[in-house]
Amino acid sequence: METGLPYLWLTLCDPDPQTNGQFIYSGGLIRAVAKAGAELTVLGLSRKPGRSYRRSEPNIDWQFVEDRQASRWIRVASSFPLTALRTRVPEMRAALAAHLASGNWDAVVLDSINVGWALPHVLRYRRRHPRTRVVYLAQNQETTAMRMLAQAERGWRRVVRFMDAAKTDRMERRLVRVADLVTADSPDDCKALAALSPGKPVVFVPPGYDGPRIARRTIDSSLPRRAVVVGSFDWAAKRLSLEAFLTIAAPLFATKGIALQLVGRTEASHVAALRRRFPSVEIVGTVPDVRPYMAKARLALVPDTLGGFKLKSLDYVFNRLPIFALDGAVPGTPLDDRRGIRLFKSHAELARGVVDTIDDTAALNEQQETAFALAADCFDWAAIGQSLMRQIRKAPIAGSAEASEDYFTAAPAHVRRNSGLLPERCTSALKSD
């Protein structure tokens, strides 16, 4: 294990408490790389209104600055996309300048497009320190998501959204093109991002899982005929997918006597709007613990139309809740259709699949047991942190197209063989295009 390597890690904000997938992924990677031996200085926005603060833990110096957003119209007029401007506040810019002026960084990590505005500053630093590696950790196909949001708008909002999608496209392409190492959290995103810079591999870095694991569970007729959707619903793109599904599923489930629950964080105004629009659906909202709701459902739903790794899928698997999802909505797991998961081509087919299967408890039990067995030895944060750190150390500097293909070599052989998470699966697919 290498030790003492100083990394400057730029992220959206304090990942604690980890209330959504981005916070879980960022916080997990930061701590995993620190445990692998790197010494991290992490810079992001404060989640405490009006406050900047610092804290420390082994190998991590957390620094969070006050979040003071410019007006929306100033942000719209900027050459940067809105998602990147989220962190481009005066305090963040000043802190970055100070760290780049005083530090001697082995790597600078841009954790998502939210900090993409910092790339020019980091590249200027790299010209003075040519051994520093620039790392871009993608957490989504950002341009695809922005275009989806634009298509859902009307009038001047649609124009503004498409303009922002164009800005996002330019930034995403530049990040992929100039970073020494690019990673993504699903094989599908690896392939899509690699297409932005032909010849450059994009490394698959899945999340880990350190939550509870249910040793045994039996689904039987004593459980309510209930399906559940668990997650945070703050992101507009996710809301569009959810509402499109509810439009189809809510009336069907109501006529078939199937209960549907939505459990997770979202704005109070969004909860109220969903309750008015879909009165037959139980909109629970934020709860301190989602596990009791999963324990009282027969199956879980992932109706997202966008890909990207869904961390809630790991909660479902390890809490032994069968997953019914749109095809492509749960990439990066060792599950395949009818082998630990059920996948459907459309929201209508997904809803009908629930109706057809919710009383087949034998099939539901077989599915959850298969999923648990397939995933049991995967998603180890320690192995992921060691492998990511090794990839950073091996990355060719200054945008060379040389590839590193041994991600997860630190994992036990049975993980590499059984998990379906081998990055070479992603890398080989990219090379075949």
CA 109, 115, 120, 124 dihedral sign is: negative
How do 107-111 and 133-137 pair as beta strands? parallel
Q: Which CATH number fits domain 226-375: 3.30.420.40, 1.10.10.10, 3.30.70.3270, 3.40.50.2000?
A: 3.40.50.2000
Q: Residue 170: left if φ>0, alpha if ψ -120 to 50, beta else—which one?
A: alpha
Average the pLDDT over 419-429 and give the result: 33
Centre a 10 Å sphere on the Cβ of residue 345 and count the other Cβ atoms it contains: 10
The confidence score (pLDDT) of residue 350 equals 98
Confidence of residue 402 (pLDDT cuts 50, 70, 90): very low
Domain boundaries, the chain: 5-208+380-431, 226-375
Placement of tokens 């613990």 in the chain = 289
- How far is 400 from 267, CA to CA, in rounded Å? 44
- How far is 12 from 21, CA to CA, in rounded Å? 13
pLDDT at 241 over 90: no
- How far is 190 from 104, CA to CA, in rounded Å? 30
The confidence score (pLDDT) of residue 407 equals 29
- How far is 385 from 380, CA to CA, in rounded Å? 9
Go through the chain and tell me how many residues it has: 433
CATH superfamily membership of 5-208+380-431: Glycogen Phosphorylase B; (3.40.50.2000)
Per-residue tokens: 275: 């309750």
The DSSP code for 343 is: E
The confidence score (pLDDT) of residue 130 equals 93
Confidence of residue 52 (pLDDT cuts 50, 70, 90): very high
Q: Does 226-375 match 5-208+380-431 at the fold level?
A: yes
- How far is 328 from 308, CA to CA, in rounded Å? 9
pLDDT at 140 over 70: yes
Q: Which of 403, 421, 402 is nearest to 411 (CA)?
A: 421
Q: Which of 87, 81, 43 is nearest to 62 (CA)?
A: 43
Per-residue tokens: 254: 């109501």
Confidence of residue 376 (pLDDT cuts 50, 70, 90): very high
Centre a 10 Å sphere on the Cβ of residue 246 and count the other Cβ atoms it contains: 23
pLDDT at 305 over 60: yes
124-128, 215-219, 278-282, 421-425: least confident range: 421-425
Q: Residue 387: left if φ>0, alpha if ψ -120 to 50, beta else—which one?
A: alpha
User: Residue 394, class by beta-carbon neighbours within 10 Å (0-12 exposed, 13-18 middle, 19+ buried)?
Assistant: middle
170-184, 300-314, 377-391: least confident range: 300-314
Residues 36/69, Cβ–Cβ less than 8 Å = no
User: Residue 279, class by beta-carbon neighbours within 10 Å (0-12 exposed, 13-18 middle, 19+ buried)?
Assistant: exposed
The confidence score (pLDDT) of residue 406 equals 33
For 272, residues 6+ apart whose C-beta sits below 8 A from its C-beta are none
140 vs 326, higher pLDDT? 326
346 vs 75, higher pLDDT? 346
**Tens-place pLDDT, residues 25-45:** 999 999 999 999 999 999 999
Listed as own residue / partner, the contacts of 397-405 with beta carbons closer than 8 Å and 24 or more positions apart are 397/130, 397/131, 397/132, 397/133, 397/180, 398/126, 398/130, 398/180, 399/177, 399/178, 399/179, 399/180, 399/200, 400/180, 401/199, 401/200, 403/200, 403/201, 403/427, 404/201, 404/203, 405/201
Q: Which of 235, 236, 292, 240 is nearest to 261 (CA)?
A: 292
134-138, 332-336, 358-362: least confident range: 332-336
Across all residues in the chain, what is the average pLDDT? 87
The DSSP code for 20 is: S
pLDDT at 126 over 70: yes
Average the pLDDT over 228-246 and give the result: 86
For 245, residues 6+ apart whose C-beta sits below 8 A from its C-beta are 301, 303, 347, 350, 351
40 vs 235, higher pLDDT? 40
The confidence score (pLDDT) of residue 307 equals 64
Question: N- to C-terminal Cα distance for the chain?
Answer: 35
CA 160, 90, 113, 46 dihedral sign is: negative
Listed as own residue / partner, the contacts of 256-259 with beta carbons closer than 8 Å and 24 or more positions apart are 256/355, 257/225, 258/225, 258/226, 258/227, 258/354, 258/355, 258/358, 259/224, 259/225, 259/226, 259/227
The DSSP code for 33 is: H
